[in-house]
Amino acid sequence: MHYPEPISKLIDSFMKLPGIGPKTAARLAFFVLSMKEDTVLDFAKALVNAKRNLSYCSVCGHITDQDPCYICEDQRRDRSIICVVQDPKDVIAMEKMKEYNGQYHVLHGAISPMDGIGPEDINVPDLIKRLHGDEVQEVILATNPTVEGEATAHYIADRLDGQGILITRLAHGIPVGGELGYVDGFTLTHAFRGRKPLSD
């Protein structure tokens, strides 16, 4: 279908976002056209401001508007523990939990030989540098429970072997309220391997 050039460019721009196909992009474009001009300008400013004013923390790699980020700057946090995650959104998810008070390290991806992504293409070398010295006693590997996440966790664990640092992995398994009949084999295997004694 032929659209006027401004709409076509807007649709093409929306299609550059992950998970947005041609139909969704067209729907979003026409929705933007129906918005008030002030709202559209505020939206455009928010996009530009986010791109211009956000960067990655030079210490942990989390997204921030200051360097170091507020987590790395917080002296109340436990500096003996580093939780390794794949993406900045994982840090946000962990922080919402309000159970963890240590430091983070964001990898910005996972090892994926099929996609040509090796350890040097993600933030692994900076993690290794952070661990020199005696301050860090535990590294929690909180990569995603995917093939790539598992490969990344195993690679990091191998690199840290013999350094006197406790390496732990987040538990994987059946979600609360889930039924065994609906759980895939991969998840069920992890749940079975990660079983523990029932505490009082």
Query: Is 140 found in the same domain as 158?
Result: yes
Q: Are 168 and 84 in contact (CB under 8 A)?
A: no
Q: What is the mean pLDDT of residues 42-60?
A: 94
Query: Is 29 found in the same domain as 73?
Result: no
Q: What percentage of the chain exceeds 70 in pLDDT?
A: 97
Burial 81-108 (b: 16+ CB within 10 A, else e): bbbbbbbbebbeebeeeeebebbbbbbe
Q: Are 90 and 63 in contact (CB under 8 A)?
A: no
Q: How many domains does the chain have?
A: 2
Query: Is 122 found in the same domain as 40?
Result: no
pLDDT tens digits for 99-129?
A: 899 999 999 999 998 899 998 899 999 999 9
Query: Rounded to whole angstroms, how far apart are CA atoms 70 and 125?
Result: 22
pTM, whole model, 2 decimals?
A: 0.80
Query: Is 116 found in the same domain as 70?
Result: yes
Three-state SS at 70: helix
Query: Is 28 found in the same domain as 74?
Result: no
Query: Rounded to whole angstroms, how far apart are CA atoms 71 and 164?
Result: 25
Q: Please, what sign has the CA dihedral across residues 176, 179, 185, 189?
A: positive
Boundary residue ending a domain (53, 73, 88):
53
Q: Which domain holds residue 19?
A: 5-53
Query: Is 67 found in the same domain as 42?
Result: no
Q: What is the pLDDT of residue 134?
A: 75
Query: Is 133 found in the same domain as 43?
Result: no
Query: Is 97 found in the same domain as 13?
Result: no
> Does residue 200 register a pLDDT over 60?
no
Question: Which class for 56: exposed (0-12), middle (13-18), buried (19 or more C-beta within 10 A)?
Answer: middle
Query: Is 78 found in the same domain as 44?
Result: no
Query: Is 128 found in the same domain as 96?
Result: yes
CATH of the domain at 14: 1.10.8.420
Query: Rounded to whole angstroms, how far apart are CA atoms 178 and 144?
Result: 19
Tell me the average pLDDT of the chain.
90
CATH of the domain at 91: 3.40.1360.10
Query: Is 164 found in the same domain as 70?
Result: yes
Q: Are 103 and 60 in contact (CB under 8 A)?
A: yes
Domain annotation covers residue 35: yes
Domain annotation covers residue 70: yes
